[in-house]
């Protein structure tokens, strides 16, 4: 479906166009299947703290997964978008403690923990638009998670990096740039795929 070496912007546009055709029922069904698959991961079963995110729009739904992790006693940190597009973090305390923020995001209302809080987590669940067989993740293009991944590397932190996607978003090739950090696994409604560095 995709050319051997697509450009990031073009690939992102094509995949987001496919997402825009999904119904809310499609998104919720995929989210339930995604949660089931993700909860089987050792990276989550053995985690004490997980950095995650609240899905918006046509992203694979994450709310069921967030609630299931919290019910297991896992501490879940969610991003808070700063003015410079960097990410602060706050603890997820349930859907009733989420507030609408800029860009349509839902963010936790609790105390801010600082940008470095992510360096203490066991697993990071990353949003994305695509991933390829090398574990190269294509994000939305804002650079927020590139900063997070660079911060983890600079701190010597080595959490598991897992991207959550739809099945058709595992593609042949994502262009890799020097700042890109490969993920260790992708979870889709259809299953889990692992990558080795």
pLDDT at 3: 41
- Residue 8 annotated as binding? yes
- Residue 73 annotated as binding? no
- Residue 143 annotated as binding? yes
Radius of gyration of the chain (CA): 16
**pLDDT tens, residue order, the chain (197 aa):** 444 446 888 999 999 999 999 999 999 999 999 999 999 999 999 999 999 999 999 999 999 999 999 999 999 999 999 999 999 999 999 999 999 998 889 999 999 999 999 999 999 999 999 999 999 999 887 889 999 999 999 999 999 999 999 999 999 999 888 777 899 999 999 999 998 75
Residue ranges making up the domain that contains 113:
8-194
Q: What is the distance between the alpha carbons of residues 113 and 87, in angstroms, rounded to a whole number?
A: 10
Whether residue 1 is contained in a domain is answered as no
- Residue 139 annotated as binding? yes
pLDDT at 181: 86
pLDDT at 6: 61
CATH of the domain at 154: 3.40.50.10420
Query: Considering its fold, how many domains does the chain have in total?
Result: 1
Judge contact between 143 and 179, C-beta under 8 A. Answer: no
Judge contact between 64 and 35, C-beta under 8 A. Answer: yes
Whether residue 3 is contained in a domain is answered as no
pLDDT at 127: 95
Residue 15 structure tokens? 């995949």
The beta-strand segments (E) located in 12-148 are 49-51, 75-81, 87-91, 98-100, 106-108, 123-126, 130-132, 137-138
* Residue whose structure tokens are 């069904």: 29
Residue 119 structure tokens? 């360096």
Judge contact between 50 and 76, C-beta under 8 A. Answer: yes
- Residue 106 annotated as binding? no
- Residue 186 annotated as binding? no
pLDDT at 82: 95
Q: What are phi and psi of 152, to 5 degrees?
A: -60, -45
- Residue 10 annotated as binding? yes
- Residue 142 annotated as binding? yes
Whether residue 129 is contained in a domain is answered as yes
Residue 79 structure tokens? 């991003």
- Residue 11 annotated as binding? yes
- Residue 140 annotated as binding? yes
pLDDT at 197: 57
pLDDT at 2: 41
- Residue 64 annotated as binding? no
Q: What is the distance between the alpha carbons of residues 68 and 66, in angstroms, rounded to a whole number?
A: 6
Q: What is the distance between the alpha carbons of residues 187 and 37, in angstroms, rounded to a whole number?
A: 7
Whether residue 78 is contained in a domain is answered as yes
- Residue 29 annotated as binding? no
Whether residue 2 is contained in a domain is answered as no
């Amino acid at each position: 479906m995709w050319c051997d070496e697509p450009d990031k912007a073009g690939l992102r546009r094509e995949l987001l166009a496919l997402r825009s055709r999904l119904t809310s029922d499609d998104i919720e069904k995929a989210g339930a299947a995604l949660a089931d698959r993700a909860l089987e991961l050792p990276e989550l079963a053995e985690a004490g703290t997980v950095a995650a995110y609240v899905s918006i729009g046509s992203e694979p739904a994450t709310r069921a997964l967030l609630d299931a992790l919290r019910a297991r006693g896992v501490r879940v940190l969610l991003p808070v978008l700063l003015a410079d597009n960097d990410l602060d973090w706050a603890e997820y305390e349930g859907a009733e403690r989420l507030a609408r923020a800029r860009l349509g995001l839902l963010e936790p209302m609790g105390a801010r923990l600082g940008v470095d809080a992510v360096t203490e987590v066991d697993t990071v669940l990353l949003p994305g638009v695509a991933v390829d067989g090398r574990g190269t993740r294509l994000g939305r293009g804002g650079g927020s998670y590139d900063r997070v991944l660079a911060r983890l590397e600079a701190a010597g932190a080595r959490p598991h990096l897992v991207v959550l996607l739809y099945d058709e978003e595992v593609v042949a090739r994502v262009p890799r740039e020097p700042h890109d950090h490969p993920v260790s696994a992708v979870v889709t409604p259809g299953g889990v795929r692992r990558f080795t560095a």
